[in-house]
Each structure stands twice: as C-alpha cells, then as structure tokens.
Structure 1
Amino acid sequence: MLFIFYSAFFNKKNMTTDKPLLGKNALVFGVANKWSIAWAIAKAWHKAGARLVIGYQGERLKKSVEELLAELPGEDTPLAFPCDVTDEEQVSQFFAKTKAHFPKIHVLLHSIAFAPKEALEKNFYETSRQDFLRTFETSVYSLIALAREAKALFSEGGSILTLSYYGSEKVIPNYKIMGPAKAALESTVRYLAYELGKDGIRVNALSPGPINTLAARGISGFTKFLKESALKSPLGRNTETTDVASAALFLATDESRAITGQTLYIDCGYSIMGF
C-alpha cells in the first residue's frame, strides 16, 4: 500500500510538472507565421497545458493562423479572433469574445511591433511625426490597451509578457525608430508592473538576441549582424525561438511569482560584452 501511495503521488507530481499551465487560459498577440517568436511561445504554452486564444490582425493573417493552430496536438483547436490593436473597438470585441469562452485568463503575450518602412530607411533624425506616432501607437501603446482590457479577466492574478530588444539601451545601426520605441516599451512594463501588482498581475519583458525571423530580415544589414552577434556572444551562438519560448514558459508559471517589472535578456550573453 505504501508503495502504491508514493507511486501515485510522484506520478501526479510528474504530470503536473509536465503541464505547469494545465487549466490556465493564455492570450497570444503577434502570431504571424511559423517562424515568429510568438508562435514558438504559443506552442510552448500549449504543450504545457494552457488553452490558447490567438489575436491576429486582419483577414490577411487569418488563414495562416488557423493552419498553424490546426497543427497543434489535441482534440480542442485553440480559439482565434481578429484584433487590430490600433482599433479600440476591435480590442474591446476581442476581449468580449474571449470572455464568452473563458471568464478568466492567466497569461498574456504581447508580441507586436511595427515601424513604417520609410522610418527604417531614412536617417533617424528624419523620422516624420506621423511615422513616430504610428510606431509608438502600435509598438508601445498597444501593450497598455491590452493590459487595460485584460485586467478584469485576470481575476486570479497572472502574467503579462512583451518582447523587447537590446536596441532599447544601445544604438543598433538601422534599428532607428524602433530603438526609442523599445525603450518606451520597457518603461511601460515597469509602470504597468507597479500599478497592476496589487492585483497579483506580473508584467515583464523578454529581450531576445537577433533571431532570423521574417520581420527581422526587413532590417538592413541584419544577416551580417546575426553573424557578428554569434561571434561576440559568450555562448558562441545565436538565440533561437525555442530559447525565448522556454523563458516565456518560466515567466508564465508560478515558479516566477516574485519576478515583475523586469527585462530579461535571452541573447546568449551578447548584452554583457563591451568592446
């Protein structure tokens, strides 16, 4: 009998460890294709037992997102609703639809960034007012908008994550307007963490090293920078989407319950290097 008791106990413990997000509901914004960091995180959370709701922008991405979700194992296909984060009405509708299925949520990923092509091609000092405002609205204000709408559904507390980059602290040539935008995003994380902390909601940023995604390839000279980053990083390699997903899983669980307002670098050590 004693053997049976211990066996059952440890089997249950192992099952819980394998599924640390079992029974949790997670919202993911920013899935664009199978190479995107948001998709890697969504897969990790799903594997850990979370029920997913994906927010995608426009009909252009609907088919791509639905095809990706159909590949996930399990009988229940995650939900997916349109959500243009620059449209307050769509944001409200997204959360209304989510609430109809899940009265509470536990995790939210904001993996959204955008800068007009012109702003990345010109000198930084030539950034237009319109391009500046559009970049900050999409890349920074959207986190505030999502956190505000999500707050009521975080009835048991939880974790909000966003994605930043080292260009928030140091000048990365050709990153241009996105550098100040990421700096503002990291400051936003700290202020949200302060105000939402009393509700048990943690807010953190992940700052991966350069990853060969479709979005990153749009930055001039990215391929060269990718090679240089691997050479100069203490670990001698580039960051992979699975590295970021592992960190995102940790910050989504209760194992990180005392961590909030932080920017966690996942860059193989590149950010610690000087000359």
Structure 2
Amino acid sequence: MLLEGKSVLVTGVITEQSIAFNVAKLAQEQGAKVVLTGFPRMSLVERIAKRLPQEAAVLELDATNPEQLGSLADRVRGVGFDSLDGVVHAIAFGPQSVLGGGFLDAPWEDVSKAVQASTYSYKALAMATLPLMEKGGSIVGLTFDASIAWPVYDWMGVAKAGLESTSRYLARYLGPKGIRSNLVSAGPLRTMAAKSIPGFEKFEESWVERAPLGWALTDTEPTAKAVVALLSSWFPATTGEIIHVDGGYHAVGA
C-alpha cells in the first residue's frame, strides 16, 4: 500500500497496453484514489477506465490548450478531489514529419508542435495542478533516453531531451514547495504511441538481445512500478532524477 490515502492524476491512458493504464491500475492497487485525463478520443478513455480495479473519473485535457489547463484544478475538484499528491505526465505527440528519418527536412511548424505537446506540456501540467499540491507531492513523467541520437526518433528525441531538462528545472523551482519532479526512462514497449513511429521495430531486436536483464516488449508493468514508487513517499529526497527501466540497456556498449 505504497500510495494509501494519496490522490493521483494520471494522463495518457489510451488502451490497456498504455504505460499510463498500468500506472493507474497499480496506483489503485497500492491504495491511491485516481483521476484520469484523456484526449482526443474521450469515449475510448472512458471505456478503458471501466477496466481499472475501481472505475476512475475521466476529464478531457488537451495539454496544449490554455483554457483546458486553466480549468483543470477546478474540474479535478469537481469530481471529488480536494488535493493531489501525485501527477503522472504520459503525454507526447509529434507530426509524422518529425519522425522516421526526416530530421533534416522537418519544418519548424511541425517541430514546434512536437515540442509543445511533448516538452512544454510537462511544465504546463505542473502549473495547472499546482493549486492542488499545496502540501507538496510528486510529478513523474515518461521519457526515452535522450542522451544519444536514435535512428528514426529524430525530433522526438530532441523533444525528450527538452523534457529531461524541463524536469530538472521543475525540480529546482518546485522543490521549495515540497514538490518532486522525476522521470522514468523506459525501454521500447509496443504501445500505441510506439506503433505510430515509423521504423520503431529497429529498436526492438537489439534491445532484447543486449539488455543485461533481458527486455519484454509487451510488459509495461516494470515501468509502471517505477512510476508508482516515485509517486510514493519512499523517495522523499529524490528530485530531478531519471530512473532507467530498460533492462540495463543504457549501461552497456556493443
């Protein structure tokens, strides 16, 4: 019961294969009260929410929409949450032009959409939920190791590098308020988001072969467990950190 008595907002649930779905499931199993946000297919998210151990309220949130962000705290209160102890950022988007090998040709218009949705949204979500975290808490986001350049990931890799830096700055500015900001860097998982990346299968074979602990491409639970642990009070002095949940792939060479 790592999250007993805590209230947690989880973004990014799309299907049962979503990392965010397993985070919400484990959070409930560990004692948390959970509220979800979704966009744009709300009916799908609402249907998936019914498959959790306890059905969770679902709020619409386009993390690039100032009006929806501005009303988020009031809407969370409206479904029975007086405060939040944890927030999970599982939001990323990029037009097809920013992925798949087109790094040199992607126009700024498309790159800016990827950066706003995948990078700036982390700070925007933190500020939107800040009024509900007056007693402190934990913000946890998901990244894909941005310390190196990957094939086909292109500008999304740049956006993730920005996300990782954004988390460090949030750790700096929100620390005095008792709010921690950390990221979990997961290995490749066959989620809907991954399937939308052209050529993503290039990661899979080498990851399974090289990860010292091995790697299961369809198992989101290890990543979800790390997120739940960071949401808990068991990491009270950890912020600005990136926890790798990738079977150890990041630590070994060829």
Scaled to the shorter chain, the TM-score interval is: over 0.9
**What is the 5 A alignment of 1:15-30?**
19-30=1-12
Question: Residue in 2 aligned with 1:41?
Answer: 23
| AA of the residue aligned to 1:68 | I
1:43-94: CA deviations, max 9, x gaps? 1111111111111113xx22222222212234xx311111111111011222
- How many Å separate the matches in 2 of 1:221 and 1:204? 29
Q: Which has the larger displacement, 95-104 or 41-50?
A: 95-104
Question: Residue in 2 aligned with 1:14?
Answer: none
Query: Which structure dedicates a bigger proportion of its chain to helix?
Result: 1
Question: Residue in 2 aligned with 1:62?
Answer: 42
**How far is the alpha carbon of 1:169 from its aligned partner?**
0.9
- How many Å separate the matches in 1 of 2:136 and 2:177? 6
- How many Å separate the matches in 1 of 2:53 and 2:142? 26
Matched, 1:105 2:84: yes
| AA of the residue aligned to 1:164 | T
Question: Residue in 2 aligned with 1:4?
Answer: none
Do the aligned partners of 1:238 and 1:267 also contact (CA within 8 Å) in 2? no
**How far is the alpha carbon of 1:223 from its aligned partner?**
2.3
| AA of the residue aligned to 2:20 | A
Structure of larger gyration radius: 1
1:208 is aligned, of 179, 186, 189, to: 186
Do the aligned partners of 2:2 and 2:229 also contact (CA within 8 Å) in 1? no
Matched, 1:233 2:211: yes
Question: Residue in 2 aligned with 1:173?
Answer: 151
**How far is the alpha carbon of 1:222 from its aligned partner?**
2.2
Q: Using structure 1 for the length normalisation, give the TM-score.
A: 0.88
1:72 is aligned, of 41, 46, 52, to: 52
**How far is the alpha carbon of 1:217 from its aligned partner?**
1.7
**What is the 5 A alignment of 1:181-196?**
181-196=159-174
**SS at the partner of 2:154?**
coil
Question: Residue in 2 aligned with 1:258?
Answer: 237
- How many Å separate the matches in 1 of 2:142 and 2:92? 9
Question: Residue in 2 aligned with 1:147?
Answer: 126
Structure with the greater relative contact order (CA < 8 A, sep ≥ 6): 1 or 2? 2
Question: Residue in 1 aligned with 2:225?
Answer: 246
Q: Using structure 2 for the length normalisation, give the TM-score.
A: 0.95
| AA of the residue aligned to 2:108 | R
Q: Which has the larger displacement, 115-124 or 21-30?
A: 115-124
Do the aligned partners of 1:229 and 1:238 also contact (CA within 8 Å) in 2? no
Q: Which has the larger displacement, 202-211 or 85-94?
A: 85-94
Question: Residue in 1 aligned with 2:33?
Answer: 51
Matched, 1:120 2:99: yes
Count of aligned residue pairs for this structure pair? 252
**How far is the alpha carbon of 1:249 from its aligned partner?**
1.2
- How many Å separate the matches in 2 of 1:80 and 1:131? 29
- How many Å separate the matches in 2 of 1:232 and 1:121? 23
- How many Å separate the matches in 2 of 1:252 and 1:262? 13
**How far is the alpha carbon of 1:126 from its aligned partner?**
1.2
Give me the CA root mean square deviation. 1.3
Gaps of 5+ in 1: 1-18
**SS at the partner of 1:27?**
strand
Do the aligned partners of 1:106 and 1:154 also contact (CA within 8 Å) in 2? yes
